[in-house]
Amino acid sequence: MNNYFIAELIGTALLILLGNGVVAGVVLRDTKNENSGWLVITIGWALAVTFAIYAVGRISGAHLNPAVTLALACTGQFPMDQVAIYIIAQMLGGVLGAILVYSHYFPHWARTEDTGLKLAAFCTSPAIRHTPSNFFSEFSGTFVLLFGLSAIGASRFAEGLNPMVVGALVLAIGHSLGGTTGYAINPARDLGPRIAHALLPIPGKGASDWGYAWIPVVAPILGGIAGAITYRFLFPA
């Protein structure tokens, strides 16, 4: 099997295990970190991104996000013939990571009555449901992500520091822009776990909110491409 495929699958699964894992710990009933808040979630996600990049970055470049893969391909920084392999691996990794989160918190699903909180441990939803604003939130968050990644890639850091800088970027996005929709900024992070939520036998679960599901897929892809193109237009190599 393609090493890039395996790396993107495992890296994305780690990302979801640690990222959705911290969300589950905060929102599910009777965990040690129940109700510990947004700060814990954003820091947990930033560290999840950092560790996942360290884990597989030397193998596949650690895209871990279809929006990243497509943005790099559209700006000529990644071969088009590898796009499908990466995205399939990322989506499968998202499903696998969500299954691992479900398994890890197995007894807590039955103790949590709120179906919205159970869904939140898998995928995102808006604080206020307003389609244009929700779309813009995910678009702008991913625009900043790819603009920032382009800037990080053009800068020189001490060896091994880049994943920590990327994690800091994700932390900044979470704090500044994430409170509106939960900052999916990654189709695999949202759609993969949402599929897992729909399929898994979670006690007392509600609907998977498929009416909203297109926003954290389409908006990050368009926002990511726009962010990468904008950086290269403003600061050509």
Can you say how many angstroms the Cα of residue 13 is from the centroid of all Cα atoms in its chain? 10
pLDDT of 160 reads 82
pLDDT of 202 reads 98
For the chain, what percent of residues have pLDDT higher than 90? 95
Domain CATH for 168: 1.20.1080.10
pLDDT in tens, 210-235: 999 999 999 999 999 999 999 999 99
Q: Are 216 and 187 in contact (CB under 8 A)?
A: yes
| 234 exposure class (CB count in 10 Å sphere: 0-12, 13-18, 19+) | exposed
Distance between CA 167 and CA 125 in Å, rounded? 22
Q: Which domain range does residue 56 map to?
A: 3-234
Mean pLDDT (the chain) is 96
| Residue 121 token pair | 């441990």
Look at the chain and report how many structural domains it folds into.
Answer: 1
Q: What average pLDDT does the segment 129-136 reach? A: 98
Q: CA nearest 14: which of 80, 59, 75?
A: 59
| pLDDT band at 106; cut points 50, 70, 90 | very high
